[in-house]
């Protein structure tokens, strides 16, 4: 629970910059006196009240809507005051400063400060309080940020599902199942003579298998959610002039990178996030790979290798009009060898044969893709292949909830404890205390997702990544 003496906090809740409307938000134990100072009246609970926001001298800073959410019926679970003003950065700053100033004034009615110790909120602090006051669990609080940060519609929809508690409900159902099973085992531990009977009578094996299957399903959907949230890094590499920049432009549908017939055009890495069926792909166009005596080009090529090494998928582009050229094969071998050397074998390499329009009828190796960045031919095949290597399951979009690496790790930890538990009951002579311990650990891993079981330092890390005012 939130310590009752936690300082009240204030922040501009809306994005920085100009907007039609902007909101200053205050959360604390009792904001009524502050509201009176700013609006000159007592606000009815949860009703938008129009009027001036008053300067210390009584003159208006702005006219707008004031809202009082009495605790605990607010976003944070505390008393919340919202001032909805015109959305100019200066107006909102003035209003925020005025809140801090008015908070320190003595209220003549009570003889005390209106809202002692009011201070600016840290990033994520409103949502942190919502978590500490049980308005949201941890997975929901994270979903708030994921919803704000969503880069595609699918990511926004799945964040919204997590925020509504769908992910948490699945975790709770698993935890409930584990608790049932643990109670059974613990009871058996207390009455050792009935051990074998209890295990078989209650079909512990069957229950464990069920839990493992359910968990596997949640894991699969969480992986999809993580993919929607984070996307994958796709690096386009290849010899100079193969058409890498043309391919980036074709995928992005915009002239982002410079394209010329001169080999060695691209030096800086050009990055663009595109989406395919709602999955974000961070596509990088890099400098053509070759031995170069040009200092600038060499740096570009170094950068290209740096990104190739951290790619989730590599598009190796070949130029069909040059495959018969004298130096082509040797260069190609060198590039493939370097890639095999630097890239973990788990990273998929997709070979693309470009300029198919200029080499009609040219055959390409099985499993490779022939395309033309110029005409767009073959791009659909490439998009489908990218979704496939990303691990996206078409049509999975509906049941997906947003998930983070933290969640995936917790799910995996839980799964491995369940496996260890199953190994105990699969044998002839189960060690019940080991079984009980594995079940306990499996449950703790799951509970860390919703924050029912978590370390304080984890909370700090999670909420610090929010934006200010959230």
Residues that bind ligand GTP (CB under 6 A): 240-246, 259-261, 263-266, 287-288, 354-355, 357-358, 372-374
Taking CB under 6 A as the binding criterion, the range among 69-77, 195-203, 257-265, 352-360 that sits at the site for ligand FFO is 69-77
* 111 three-state secondary structure: coil
Q: Which is nearer to ligand GTP, 7 or 268 (CB)?
A: 268
CB-nearer residue toward ligand FFO: 72 or 206 = 72
Report long-range pairs for 456-465 (Cβ below 8 Å, ≥24 apart).
Answer: 459/128, 459/131, 459/138, 462/124, 462/138, 462/141, 462/142, 462/406, 463/122, 463/123, 463/124, 463/125, 463/127, 463/128, 463/131, 463/141, 464/122, 464/123, 464/124, 465/123, 465/124, 465/145
Phi, psi of 372 (to 5 degrees): -135, 110
The encoded tokens of residue 258 equal 């410079």
Q: What are 95's two structure tokens?
A: 């209003």
Asked whether position 266 contacts Mg ion by CB under 5 A, the answer is yes
Partner from Mg ion, ligand FFO, ligand GTP, none contacting 415, C-beta within 5 to 8 A by type: none
Phi, psi of 274 (to 5 degrees): -115, 170
- Rounded-to-integer distance, Cα 62 and Cα 95, Å: 8
- Please tell me whether residue 69 binds ligand FFO under the rule CB under 6 A: yes
The listed partner (ligand FFO, Mg ion, ligand GTP, none) that binds 69, CB under 5 to 8 Å by sort, is ligand FFO
Told to check if 245 binds Mg ion by CB under 5 A, we report yes
- Confirm if 12 and 23 have CB atoms less than 8 A apart: yes
81 binds, among Mg ion, ligand FFO, ligand GTP, none (CB under 5 to 8 A by kind): none
**Position 401 contacts ligand FFO (CB under 6 A):** no
Q: Does 135 bind ligand FFO (CB under 6 A)?
A: yes
Q: Which is nearer to ligand GTP, 307 or 355 (CB)?
A: 355
Smallest gap from Cβ 69 to ligand FFO, in A, equals 5
List the binding residues for Mg(2+): 245, 266
Instruction: Return d(Cα 8, Cα 401) in angstroms, integer.
Output: 33
What's the CA gap between 101 and 99, in Å, rounded? 5
For residue 241, state whether it binds Mg ion (rule: CB under 5 A): no
Size of the site for ligand FFO (CB under 6 A): 8
Among 14, 27, 74, 133, binds ligand FFO (CB under 6 A): 74
How far is 412 from 404, CA to CA, in rounded Å? 12
Q: Whose CA is closest to 132, among 71, 193, 191?
A: 71
Containing 141, the helix (H) or strand (E) segment is helix 138-149
Where does this chain touch ligand FFO (CB under 6 A) — which range of 74-82, 281-289, 320-328, 350-358? 74-82
Partner interacting with residue 267 (select from ligand GTP, Mg ion, ligand FFO, none; CB below 5-8 Å by kind): none
- Under the binding rule (CB under 5 A), the answer on residue 372 touching Mg ion is no
- Which residues are near ligand FFO by CB under 6 A? 23, 69, 72-75, 82, 135
- Which residues are near Mg ion by CB under 5 A? 244-245, 265-266
């Amino acid at each position: 629970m939130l310590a009752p003496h936690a300082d009240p906090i204030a922040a501009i809740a809306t994005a920085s910059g100009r907007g039609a409307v902007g909101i200053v938000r205050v959360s604390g134990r009792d904001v009524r006196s502050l509201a009176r100072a700013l609006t000159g009246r007592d606000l009815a609970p949860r009703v938008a009240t129009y009027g001036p926001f008053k300067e210390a001298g009584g003159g208006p800073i702005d006219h707008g809507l004031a809202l009082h959410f009495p605790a605990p019926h607010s976003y944070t679970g505390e008393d919340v005051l919202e001032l909805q003003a015109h959305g100019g950065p200066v107006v909102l700053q003035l209003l925020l400063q005025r809140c801090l100033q008015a908070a320190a004034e003595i209220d003549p009615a009570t003889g005390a400060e209106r809202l002692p110790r009011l201070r600016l909120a840290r990033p994520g602090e409103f949502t942190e309080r919502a978590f500490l006051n049980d308005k949201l669990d941890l997975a929901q609080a994270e979903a708030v940020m994921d919803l704000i940060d969503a880069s595609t519609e699918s990511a926004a929809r799945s964040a919204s599902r997590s925020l509504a508690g769908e992910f948490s409900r699945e975790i709770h159902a698993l935890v409930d199942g584990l608790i049932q099973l643990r109670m059974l085992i613990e009871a058996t531990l207390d009455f050792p003579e009935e051990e074998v009977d209890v295990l078989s009578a209650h079909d512990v094996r069957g229950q464990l298998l069920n839990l493992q299957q359910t968990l596997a399903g949640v894991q699969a959907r969480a992986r999809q959610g993580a993919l929607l949230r984070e996307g994958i890094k796709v690096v386009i590499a290849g010899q100079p002039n193969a058409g890498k920049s043309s391919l980036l432009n074709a995928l992005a549908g915009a002239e982002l990178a410079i394209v010329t017939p001169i080999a060695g055009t691209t030096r800086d890495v050009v990055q663009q996030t595109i989406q395919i069926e709602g999955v974000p792909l961070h596509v990088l166009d890099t400098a053509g790979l070759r031995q170069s005596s040009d200092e600038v080009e060499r740096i570009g090529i170094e950068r290209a290798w740096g990104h190739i090494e951290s790619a989730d998928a590599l598009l190796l582009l070949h130029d069909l009009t040059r495959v018969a050229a004298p130096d082509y094969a040797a260069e190609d071998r060198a590039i493939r060898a370097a890639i095999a050397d630097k890239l973990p074998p788990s990273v998929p390499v997709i070979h693309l044969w470009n300029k198919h329009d200029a080499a009609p009828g040219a055959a390409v190796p099985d499993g490779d893709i022939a395309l033309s960045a110029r005409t767009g031919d073959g791009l659909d095949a490439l998009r489908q292949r990218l979704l496939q290597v990303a691990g996206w399951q078409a049509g999975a979009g509906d049941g997906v909830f947003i998930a983070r690496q933290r969640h995936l790790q917790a799910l995996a930890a839980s799964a491995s404890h369940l496996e260890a538990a199953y190994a105990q009951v699969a044998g002839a002579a189960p060690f019940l205390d080991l079984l009980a311990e594995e079940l306990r650990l499996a449950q703790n891993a799951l509970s860390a997702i919703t924050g029912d079981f978590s370390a304080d330092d984890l909370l700090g890390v999670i909420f610090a990544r929010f934006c200010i005012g959230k």
